[in-house]
C-alpha cells in the first residue's frame, strides 16, 4: 500500500516514535507547528474520520486516551494543548491515513482557522 503512514507503522520510513502499542503509534510531526507536535495514528489503515463506524469508535477513544497520556508525558498536560483531526480536503487533511495532531508548548491562538 502506497501510504506514508503505513510505511511508518511498518518501520519502512524512519520517524521519531514516542509511543507504540498494539493499536496505535505516535511520532513527531516532520513539520512541527509547535514545540510539541505529535501525530497519533492507528496501525490499521483507516483513511479518515469519515470511515469511523461503531466498530472503530473504541479505537478513536483509545487515541484520545493516548493523546492525553502523551500530553502529560511531554510536559504540556497541565498548561494545555490541542488535539485536532483534519478530515477531507477542505478540512486540511493531506495524508490519507487517519491521524490526530497533538499540539502544545506554546500559546495557541483561539482561532480555528
Annotated active-site positions, please?
Answer: 99
Q: Which residues are CB-neighbours of 5 under 8 A, at least 6 positions away? A: 39, 41, 45, 95, 97, 99
Q: Give the binding site for ligand DGP (CB under 6 A).
A: 4, 13, 15, 27-31, 39, 86, 92-95
Least Cβ distance, residue 108 to ligand DGP (angstroms): 15
Which of residues 80 and 92 has its CB atom nearest to ligand DGP in the complex? Answer: 92
Least Cβ distance, residue 20 to ligand DGP (angstroms): 14
Q: CA–CA distance from 110 to each of 31, 33, 71, 82, 94 (Å)?
A: 21, 15, 19, 10, 23
What single DSSP character describes residue 44? S
Least Cβ distance, residue 77 to ligand DGP (angstroms): 21
Which of residues 39 and 76 has its CB atom nearest to ligand DGP in the complex? Answer: 39
Q: How many Å apart are CA 52 and CA 65, to the nearest integer? A: 17
Which of residues 34 and 76 has its CB atom nearest to ligand DGP in the complex? Answer: 34
Amino acid at each position: 500500500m502506497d501510504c506514508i503512514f503505513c510505511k511508518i507503522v511498518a518501520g519502512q520510513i524512519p520517524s521519531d516514535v514516542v509511543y507504540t502499542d498494539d493499536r496505535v503509534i505516535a511520532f513527531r510531526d516532520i513539520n512541527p507547528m509547535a514545540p510539541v507536535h505529535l501525530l497519533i495514528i492507528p496501525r490499521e489503515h483507516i483513511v479518515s474520520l469519515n470511515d469511523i463506524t461503531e466498530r472503530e469508535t473504541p479505537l478513536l477513544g483509545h487515541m484520545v486516551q493516548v493523546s492525553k497520556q502523551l500530553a502529560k508525558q511531554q510536559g504540556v498536560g497541565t498548561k494545555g494543548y490541542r488535539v485536532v483531526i483534519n478530515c477531507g480536503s477542505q478540512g486540511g487533511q493531506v495524508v490519507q491515513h487517519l491521524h490526530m495532531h497533538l499540539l502544545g508548548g506554546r500559546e495557541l491562538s483561539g482561532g480555528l482557522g
